[in-house]
Structure 1
Amino acid sequence: MTNQSIEIEEPPTLQIQLDISIIIRPLTMFFLKTWRSTVFGVYGYLNFTKSGFIEHSKKFKPEDMLTRLNEKNCIVTGANSGLGFATAEGLASRGATVYMVCRNKERGEAALSKIQSTTGNQNVHLEVCDLSSVSEIKSFASRFSSKDVPIHILVNNAGLLEHKRVTTSEGFELNFSVNVLGTYSITELMLPLVEKAAPDARVITVSSGGMYTAPLTTDLQYSDSNFNGVDQYARNKRVQFVLAFVFSCVLEELRVLGFMVTGLTGNTETVGGTSKDLSEVGNLVKMLGFITDHIVLEAAPLFGLISTNLTGLHSEGARAYRCQSIEESLGEAGIQMESAENPIVALTEKWAEMYKNKGIGFYSMHPGWAETPGVAKSLPGLSERLSGNLRTSEEGADTIIWLALQPKEKLVSGAFYFDRAEAPKHLMFSATGGSHVVIDSVVDGLRSLSALSS
């Protein structure tokens, strides 16, 4: 018998070639964004909700809200509902002459009638202007300037959150057009009238706690890919395995914020000196569930990028993020490396610096999470999970009115306020610290887009 050697052919193996240098930076950015979102969700649940307002209001001074505003002229944008309506009503109830700037004439007239009836103040007026249109803002400014009335208080409240990409007739992305370009344009064009009210003039701009989760980028209008909900949902499924790891770290990481967890039921936690029943932990977990969606969306481009570098994986999502270098990969993934504040907060700082000798105070503020028509429409998940624990519009507008009433020497121009106190502009270790170069670049870009002279 002849001995024959039998060669057993091993099954083919999938050769995975991964260029670590391509993904390490985006991976770092992903975990940084995950950290921001997680800390923001926890911090927000404990501070931005109705329960947070009730806790903070224990330190409020009733006398701070007794100032009368007779003979003061105020402009409030987006004043037909929500925070804007509550602000206009609060100012009118204190005797101010209020100009409500609204996009929709019918809704504006209904809000105007209600405020006049409720406050008994007939010096409340409607100005119709679509703040998504620079040309309309310019027309409004020209028309209003002919009144030649000093503006003591300008409240930039108008804003929106549109999930799908919508382009205005002027070619701008809609969110950017209203929230940033519109705010910049109306403020710059109203400043001559605001300066007439110096030294007691002030500009109050409503920002959002969402600024804590992201740095400023010079790509303010964003790319089309960021608005493709179907593709993003498909990519979501690739990264859900990461979330178990992320949230397993939450309790450990909370100690950075000063939390002390002593039990899961029937015990208390200490948050900045306040005790809370840990029966609320379940609601907090629901809140973390909400920010999971946000984290997944942040991660989708990253994992599309990783997929392109795995031999044998050729999905459409992967090819969409094929990259040749780290910088290109960041750009294609929608990750910008510039670091600074939310545009509104950055603009407020810049205005405070530019006009510090003009007798005008510039302040930005965060209203907390309020139950407004805008929130219900744009963030239904937040509304559902925090049902019963969202602030009222009046509670959200409280700090706006407080800023309008305080002596200027009590306030810090350029500062960011929350619940009647100066607040930090960045969460701990969030890497959203400011860069004056980026801020200047953004302001120059806004000036160019709005065609306003410097």
Structure 2
Amino acid sequence: MLSLDLGAKVYVVTGANGGLGRAISEYLAGRGATLYMVCRNKERGDKARDEIVQQTGNQKVHTLIADVALAAEVRSAMAELASREKRVDGIVCNAGAMTPEKTITPEGFETTLAAGLLHGAYLLSSLALPLLRKSADPRVTFLSSGGMYNGKFPGFAVANCESAKYNQEYAYVYVKRAQVILAEELTKLAPDVKWLSVHPGWTETPGVTGWLGSGQKYLQPMRNLWQGVEGISWMTVCPGDELKSGEFYLDRRPQVKHIAGAFFSEGTYTKNTKAEVEQLMSVLHEKVGKFDPSGPVVPHKEGDEAKPEAV
């Protein structure tokens, strides 16, 4: 894997200037790939790109500046990508957000949900679908987490914190569970692309440290960055026939998606019903845009639905 030549491949990594996204970017650039690093902050993004270029000697590393919590910025970044590339071979949706206090984006959504699901996963990958379909072996990977084992998706109103008190730990859990569901559902809608979710293991990053808090001591020793991204990097570049679309991976292998029940049954505590999953997809279509399997997501018209009140 370390000697693989990716000189003919094109990849997109979000949240690419730090943590897991940076480590994945370094791997791809080091193998010669054309790489687009989606970063929220231009200064930090350009600095990371320049460092990776210097480190790898690969001049085909570029930045796309976008806050993935904002639909308008995701659309702008994907339009720029489409103007520069004829195809994309793989996307790693790594960027996310977890705020200690409830925050609402200017577009009216809770920030963690907007960045990790609505726009940073569903919208971004949907907009890239025409480019992905021009690849012989496309795939999209959603960076989920073992944190998703702590619950099922509670419904949009709860995940968007429209009434309940905000809890940053559960905001994270809800998004990570939803990413697993999203990979399953998009596999049905666009089966010619591999849709995957993945747990990097308990890796020492600022995001994980912030989420676990004092609980981090129970998961020692934590993984270093390369240990966390080795399996993800493999998923990004391996032959597609070695992957099963819709699955949740850790260390190159599909994992169970739910906490076990009695007598080795799958359990239902973390499992959403078919109706709940259908409702989630319906809300994504309504709030973000309808997923068109033959093309990019079609945006909703502003004002079609009531948006939550900013706080």
Deviations 1:178-235 (A, max 9, x none): 01102111011111111111x3111111101011110122233134432279xxxxxx
SS of equivalent to 2:49? helix
Larger Rg: 1
Matches within 5 A, 1:22-33: none
1:442–1:228 Cα change, 3 Å: closer
Match of 1:343 in 2: 178
* Structure 1 residue identity aligned to 2:228: G
Q: Unpaired segments of 5 or more residues in structure 1?
A: 1-63, 230-293, 298-335
Secondary structure of the equivalent of 2:133? helix
Amino acid aligned to 1:131: V
2:259 corresponding residue in structure 1: 427
Deviation at 1:374, TM superposition (A): 2.1
Post-superposition, which runs of at least 4 consecutive aligned residues in structure 1 deviate over 4 A?
none
Measure the CA separation in 1 of the matches of 2:167 and 2:68: 25
Q: Cα distance, 1:421 vs. partner?
A: 1.1
Distance 1:388 1:211 in 2: 19
- The percent of aligned pairs where both chains have the same amino acid is 34
Q: Which AA in structure 2 matches 1:425? A: K
Q: Deviations over 1:343-363 (max 9, x none)?
A: 10111011111111x3x1111
Contact 2:202 2:219 in 1 (8 A): no
For 1:387 and 1:445, the matched residues in 2 are separated by: 35
Secondary structure at the counterpart of residue 68 of structure 2: coil
Task: Report the counterpart of residue 225 of structure 1 in structure 2.
Answer: 164
From 83, 106, 112, the equivalent of 1:146 is: 83
Name the counterpart of 1:410: 242
Note the 1:6-45 alignment, pairs <5 A: none
* Length, aligned pairs only: 279
> Residues of 2 paired with 1:141 and 1:441: CA distance?
27
Q: In 2 relative to 1, CA 201–404 (structure 1 residues): closer, same or farther, beyond 3 Å?
A: same
* Map 1:290-369 → 2, pairs under 5 A: 342-356=177-191, 358=192, 360-369=193-202
What amino acid does structure 1 have at the position aligned with 2:53?
A: Q
Contact 2:67–2:74, Cα closer than 8 Å, also in 1: yes
Distance 1:366 1:109, change over 3 A: same
Q: Given residue 161 of structure 1, which amino acid in structure 2 is its aligned partner?
A: M
Match of 1:207? 144
Distance 1:104 1:409 in 2: 36
Q: Secondary structure, in 3 states, of the residue corresponding to 1:346?
A: helix
Q: Find the aligned partners of 2:152 and 2:219 in 1 and give their Cα distance.
A: 29
C-alpha displacement at 1:434, in angstroms? 4.1
Contact 2:247 2:254 survives alignment (8 Å): yes
Measured in 1, the distance between the counterparts of 2:177 and 2:117 equals 10
The one-letter amino acid paired with 2:60 is N
Q: By percentage of residues, which structure has more helix?
A: 1
Where in structure 2 are the equivalents of 1:128-207 lying within 5 Å?
128-182=65-119, 183-197=121-135, 199-207=136-144
Q: Is contact 1:65-1:405 (8 Å) kept?
A: no
Between the aligned partners of 2:289 and 2:272, the Cα distance in structure 1 is 26
Shift of 1:147: 2.0
The change in CA–CA distance for 1:86 and 1:228 in structure 2 (over 3 A counts) is closer
Tell me how far 1:170 sits from its aligned partner: 0.7
1:447 corresponding residue in structure 2: 285
TM-score under structure 2 normalisation? 0.84
Q: Deviations over 1:400-434 (max 9, x none)?
A: 10101221111111111101211111121242234
1:438 equivalent in structure 2? 276
* TM-score relative to the length of structure 1: 0.58
Relative to structure 1, is the Cα distance of residues 228 and 129 closer, same or farther in structure 2, using a 3 angstrom cutoff?
Answer: closer
Classify the secondary structure of the residue corresponding to 2:128: helix
Which consecutive unaligned segments of at least 5 residues does structure 2 have?
Answer: 262-266, 293-311
Alignment partner of 2:285: what SS? helix
Q: Which residue of 2 aligns with 1:316?
A: none
Q: Which has the higher contact order (CA 8 A, sep 6+)?
A: 1
Q: CA deviation at 1:68?
A: 2.1
**CA shift for structure 1 position 119:** 1.4
Alpha-carbon displacement from aligned partner over 1:324-360 (angstroms, at most 9, x marks no partner)? xxxxxxxxxxxx9xxxx9110111011111111x3x1
Mapped to 1, the partners of 2:164 and 2:139 lie a distance apart of 39
- Is 1:165–1:224's contact at 8 Å kept on the other side of the alignment? no
- Contact 1:348 1:364 survives alignment (8 Å): yes
Conserved 8 A contact 1:162-1:378: no
Aligned counterparts of 1:178 and 1:135: Cα–Cα separation in 2: 12
